[in-house]
Every structure is written in structure tokens, then in C-alpha cells.
Chains A and B, each alone.
Chain A
């Protein structure tokens, strides 16, 4: 005699929830669309406004200004030059814009949530499992709900990227604030500081290094995600890789892949330097 356990309709349930959200959160998705789209457009326009060679010089100068390291500066110049030479310049600009916009959105949502969690023990208890979930869920899965919300394209890519890259911003902010020595917070209390004075004069400045570490991670995750997000129309360097896969052109695929590596190395070095100082 066979007995079959009825299958739980988990997938159906999730779809129902997503459907509901798609229909009822239109105002939020439209706002997000507007911000993200305008942001990318602005970035791209700014970076494409001048000839790539001039832009390469500007970026190299910027890297030198931020890091003061000869090695990284030379690497930036040569790496960017190579990207331009391979005809990947506009794809790179597109990728950089996506990363920057997604990161800005992620940290401007993530840091306040992180602060809230640090100051409110209950909030952290609720948020922590959600963060664990967000970080362990395979990155590809985020791409699927992004489509019904925003359709194929860059905004959907940014949405998926924001969700994927936000957890470290929240986690590190909470950690940084919680690590501020109790005695210092007590001291601020003893002098009659209110909640905001305590936060802005003591806790945030002392948590800065840790929070910057979180921002660094957020950017690196965003970079890895915008590459994956090429599958839902993000274009950029990831788009070049995706196209190479579809056309079975290993050469072109590697060229774009090397471009991504160059961008990743530059971003990482600059951010490390920034979070240390």
C-alpha cells in the first residue's frame, strides 16, 4: 500500500506573496525605478562625457589622490588602458555605474537599519535571521522576483544587487556600534548626552572603521552581483561575458572577465585604503 504525503505548496505561497507585493507596492517600485534609473543615467553620462583617454587620466589621478600608492596608481592606468584598448570601455563604465548606484542605495538603507539594530536588541533579533537568509540564498534566486517588480533591465539588476549586497552594511554597522566600549557610552550618559548626541558624537565616529569595512564588502558583493545580473539585462562587463557564453566565444569571454578583475582590484585597493584612514 503506498501512501503519499501531500506536497507543501511553499513555492505557490511565495508566488502569491510576490504577486500581492507586485500589485500593491507599485508606488515603491516606481520610486525605486526612478531613483535607480536616473542615478545610472547620471553616472554614465558623466563618465562618457569626456574621451576615454582623458577619463583614464582622471581616474588614475583620483586613485593616486585616494591611496597615495604608486603601485595601485600604475595598475589603474595600465588596467584601464587595456580595457579601453579591448573596446570594453563603455561596458566598464556601465558596470561601474551600476555598482556605485546599487552600493549607494544599499548603504543608505543598510546603515540606518544597522544603527537601529545596534540600539534596539529586539530589532536585531528579528533582522539577524533575515540577514542570514539573504546571504545564504543563491544569488541567482534574487534575479527572478526582480523581473515581475521591474521587468527586464538595469533597474531589476540594481534591485537584485541592492538586496544581495546590503547585509554586510547592516551587520558591520551593528557590530561597529556594539563594539564601542561600554564605559565611553556610560560616560556620555553621565554627562547628560541625549540619544542623538551619543550616536553622532561617540558611537558613529568610533564605529567608523568597522562600518567602512562593511561598505567595502558591500561594494565587492555588488560588483559580483552586477555581473550575474547580466542575465536579466544589466549589460556592462557581465553582459559581455553573458554574450560570449551564448555565442561560445571563449576569447571574448575572458577579455570581459579580465576587465571585471581589473575593476575589482582597483575598487578593493582604494576601499581598503579608505577604511583604514
Chain B
């Protein structure tokens, strides 16, 4: 389901927008139009859509028009031309009053420099949207308290914003947007003003919240790492125009032009590659109930490997056995693998980044098991596989 659809949205700042618009449609570039008309092209015929429950990161360098584009969605800036549909309604056709209602119902916005009201306490800041909607004080307070709790600031309501750290202030900003329970969150460089450690925490928390909230989020960022981490899809902008739209993988693997390629060149590939994309999905394993030492040894011989993961009937990982120890069991004539199983087999979740895999693999002599949240085996990774995956994508090993 498309929640937001933008069609050919243009935004031109200046006195002669129509003249500039005409030149723009003729394919003239930004600098030429500015020289001829004095108008500045903010957004140049941008089109993309955002699905319900999706995080789309609009990314670009500063001045690329990303903030302008997002402000067109809730018409903080009037788009010069083009259509913007939210839930099928053309936002550009709304009257002043309808627009106000629409903003109250659909959009929550989080700002780069927090934009907290310094004269209001934290709780009054969070309540602001509800106050605008003229909801009852008791309802308002309850929802605001809940939103504060959600962002981990329970009990801070009576403080003033100036008494809080940057990270906490932005939590308040987020709570203020969430308190109205809008369908859509517009986040304008929401974490850019925070220091790197706090920023990472906030990103993690947003991802975690999103698991249960399922909001439609348009997130603006100039930081590719952030975009790759948060975005289900990424919209890359340059000079006001959309250059490429795609999943983080798409953008990295198939940059559509020089500009995108330049942009992604800097990325540490090991942060983007995850265990799931690297792992080998089919492999022989030993089953706890049916395979004895001899069966296990045969499987290892067939695959020319020195270790084997042991699973139960539900494919849950129990441990790992090594060829030399299995051989001893066979010598002793044991019927069961049990005594040779190492329960502490290294296992990672599918979304573990490659950079962390290195550390895990350094200290063990068997492959890494990739397991889901129920401990079921999804695949395995051997060192060679990891190296190959990174080399293939041009990263530094």
C-alpha cells in the first residue's frame, strides 16, 4: 500500500517561479536557471513513493534539496508544481483549514535542532500537538506520559528542555511527534546534531520502536551509514533531483551513476554486508537423534570439512563436533555423538554485520553458525566465504 506518493514535485524559491519552472521542464540545469531568472531550484521534478510501514531515507549532501522536499510533503513549503498524495488525498489541493487538520491527523515531525519550546516543560512540549487538537487535559496528559515512557524519559516531565542533554532533548522531540499517534513521521536530520555514540543509540532505538509501531517514516539524512542502517529504501538526491531509489543493497551494489558511486565509495562495506547475505544456505549437518559417530564422519569426509554442526529434529542448533574427536569415538566404539558435542558453538544472528563476523571468527576453529531467534540453523559462514564476499564488492579486507 502506498502511503505517500510524490509526482514531479518542483519547488522554486524566488520571484519568478513560473519562468524558472518552464526552463526546468526544458531540461536546463540549476545554475543556468539561477543565472537567467535569479530563482533557486530547491526540488527538481522529484517522484517517489513511500509504502505504509516503511522507512524511506531521503539522502543527499547539504543543499541537495532533501529538507525542502520533505517540507513539501506537509506543505511547510508550498510546492511550485507537482502532486503529492497522502492516503490518496492530494495535499496540494487542500485549503488552509483542511491542511491544518491534515497536519494534525497525519504528520508528526522531528527537527534537526529539536525545536523544543524553551518556555514549556518537557511534558507540556510533548502535549503540544494534542493541545493544538484541543483534546481533553486528562487524555492529553495520559498520551503524553505514555509517549515519554516510550522514549525512555518517564519521570522527566516536569523538567525544562534546557535541563536535558542533547540526546534526551531529541527524545522529547520524538515523543512530541509520537504523542499524537500520527501515521507518518517526518524526521528532518533528526539525529544529525547528536554526538556519534548517542546517535547510534537513537538509531537502534528507532529501529526497535519501529518493530512495534510500524509507522511510515520519511527520514532525512546526509549520512550514508545512517541511511543504510535505517532505510528500508533510500532516495538519493543531488541538486534537487532524485538520482536513485532503491534498497541499501541496490544503492551499494548497482550505483546508477558516477555521483552515487562516489557517494558509496566511502562506505565501509563490512558494515553493510550481513551474515545473511554471506552465508552458505545448504550444508550437511548431523542430527542428534539419528546420526552416530560413523554417519557424522562420513558426512565430513564427503564434504572435506573438519567439523559438523549438530541439530535436533526441529533444526535447532545443539553444538558442533570435530573430526578428530569423532574419530576417537569411533575407535572406542561409541554409538552416540553426545560426548563429543561442543555446546559452545559460535552462532550469530542473520543481521550481524561482516565487521563483527571477523571478530567472532578470529577466535574459533570451526565455521560460524547463523541462527534465527529460535536458534534454528539458517546457514553457515566459513572464513573463505566472508573474504570472498567482501572482495567481490570491492571492500578492503
Chain A residues within CB distance 8 Å of chain B: 181, 183-184, 186-194, 197, 201-202, 205-206
Task: Tell whether, in the assembled complex, residue A206 and residue B132 are in contact, meaning their CB atoms are under 8 Å apart.
Answer: no
**Contact residues of A: prevailing secondary structure:** helix
| A184 proximity list for chain B (CB < 8 A) | 115, 117
A187-B111, A190-B107 known; 19 other A-B pairs, CB under 8 Å?
A: A181-B115, A183-B115, A184-B115, A184-B117, A186-B111, A187-B115, A189-B103, A190-B74, A190-B109, A190-B186, A191-B104, A191-B109, A192-B103, A192-B129, A192-B132, A192-B133, A193-B100, A197-B132, A206-B119
Task: Tell whether, in the assembled complex, residue B115 and residue A186 are in contact, meaning their CB atoms are under 8 Å apart.
Answer: yes
Given contacts A197-B132, A206-B119, contact A192 B111 (CB under 8 A): no
Give Cα distance in the complex from A194 to B132, angstroms: 8
Task: Tell whether, in the assembled complex, residue B132 and residue A190 are in contact, meaning their CB atoms are under 8 Å apart.
Answer: no
Give Cα distance in the complex from A205 to B117, angstroms: 10
B131 close to A (CB within 8 Å): yes
Task: Tell whether, in the assembled complex, residue A192 and residue B115 are in contact, meaning their CB atoms are under 8 Å apart.
Answer: no
Which chain B residue shows the least CB distance to A183?
A: B115
Contact with A along B82-112 (1 / 0, CB 8 A): 0000000000000000001111100101010
A191 touches which one: B113, B118, B128 (CB < 8 A)?
B128
Task: Tell whether, in the assembled complex, residue B100 and residue A186 are in contact, meaning their CB atoms are under 8 Å apart.
Answer: no
Given contacts A192-B132, A201-B131, contact A187 B100 (CB under 8 A): no
- Per the CB 8 Å criterion, the residue count for chain B at the interface is 22
Which chain B residue shows the least CB distance to A205?
A: B119
Chain B residues within CB distance 8 Å of chain A: 74, 76, 100-104, 107, 109, 111, 113, 115, 117-119, 128-129, 131-133, 180, 186
A190 touches which one: B76, B113, B133 (CB < 8 A)?
B76
List 12 interface pairs A-B (beta carbons < 8 Å), by A numbering: A183-B113, A186-B76, A187-B111, A187-B117, A190-B103, A191-B132, A191-B180, A192-B132, A197-B132, A201-B131, A202-B117, A206-B117
A183 touches which one: B104, B107, B111 (CB < 8 A)?
B111
| B131 proximity list for chain A (CB < 8 A) | 201
| A197 proximity list for chain B (CB < 8 A) | 132
Task: Tell whether, in the assembled complex, residue B103 and residue A191 are in contact, meaning their CB atoms are under 8 Å apart.
Answer: yes
Q: Would you give the shortest CB distance from A193 to chain B, in whole angstroms?
A: 5
Task: Tell whether, in the assembled complex, residue B104 and residue A192 are in contact, meaning their CB atoms are under 8 Å apart.
Answer: yes
| B101 proximity list for chain A (CB < 8 A) | 192
Counting chain B CB atoms within 10 Å of each CB, which of A183, A187, A205 scores highest?
A: A187
| B119 proximity list for chain A (CB < 8 A) | 205-206
Task: Tell whether, in the assembled complex, residue A192 and residue B76 are in contact, meaning their CB atoms are under 8 Å apart.
Answer: no
Which chain B residue shows the least CB distance to A206?
A: B119
Task: Tell whether, in the assembled complex, residue B132 and residue A189 are in contact, meaning their CB atoms are under 8 Å apart.
Answer: no
Q: Would you give the shortest CB distance from B386 to chain A, in whole angstroms?
A: 45
Task: Tell whether, in the assembled complex, residue A189 and residue B76 are in contact, meaning their CB atoms are under 8 Å apart.
Answer: yes
Give Cα distance in the complex from A188 to B111, angstroms: 12
Give Cα distance in the complex from A205 to B118, angstroms: 10
